[in-house]
């Protein structure tokens, strides 16, 4: 048994890149892992690498109804979460002079706003109790990056 045996972990953006690597490591350490992302194909491919009991949920973490559905699924399947790795984000590699207000806002919405929204919704999912998905103590890792070109 690994260090995370009997732990339930959610990784947003867990279908590729750093999120998938984190999900695979948590699974190797014995955790039951739930991942979310936008691409159904890469979600299912990622799920196959995580082992039995894992969840792959198509969800846009900047969309409140998607978050409500995701957290309801996690609560039904896992009962609770012991940790969250908030990783989902978005970027467009553009030359500085090509960045528009719209592309900046889209990046900020998907990367920074979604991180705060997903954490807040996690803590208030269901609204019937203060923190229905996460018992105390629990852990949050908030990871975010930006990219650009010159």
CA 87 to chain centre: 6
Give residue limits of the domains in the chain.
8-142
What are the helix (H) ranges across the chain?
A: 17-28, 40-48, 64-78, 101-108, 114-124
Helices (H) and strands (E) in the chain, counts: 5, 5
Considering only residues 87 and 47, tell me which one the structure prediction assigns the higher pLDDT: 47
Q: Residue 115: pLDDT above 90?
A: no
Mean predicted confidence (pLDDT) in 72-85: 90
User: What single DSSP character describes residue 123?
Assistant: H
Check: CB of residue 55 under 8 Å from CB of residue 34: yes
**pTM assigned to the model:** 0.77
What is the CATH superfamily name and number for domain 8-142? NAD(P)-binding Rossmann-like Domain (3.40.50.720)
Radius of gyration of the chain, Cα coordinates, nearest whole angstrom: 16
Residue 4 sits at the vertex; the CA angle it makes with 20 and 58, to the nearest 5 degrees, is 35
């Amino acid at each position: 048994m690994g260090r995370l045996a009997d732990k339930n972990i959610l990784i947003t953006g867990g279908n590729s890149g750093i999120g998938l690597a984190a999900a695979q490591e948590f699974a190797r350490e014995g955790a039951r892992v739930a991942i979310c992302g936008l691409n159904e194909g890469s979600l299912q491919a990622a799920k196959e690498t995580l082992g039995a009991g894992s969840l792959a949920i198509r969800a846009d973490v900047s969309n409140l109804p998607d978050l409500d559905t995701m957290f309801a699924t996690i609560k039904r399947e896992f009962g609770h979460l012991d940790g969250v790795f908030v990783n989902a984000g978005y970027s467009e590699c553009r030359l500085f002079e090509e960045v528009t207000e719209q592309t900046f806002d889209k990046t900020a919405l998907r990367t920074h706003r979604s991180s705060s929204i997903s954490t807040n919704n996690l803590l208030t999912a269901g609204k019937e109790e203060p923190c229905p998905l996460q018992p105390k103590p629990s852990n949050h890792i908030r990871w975010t990056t930006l990219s650009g070109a010159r």
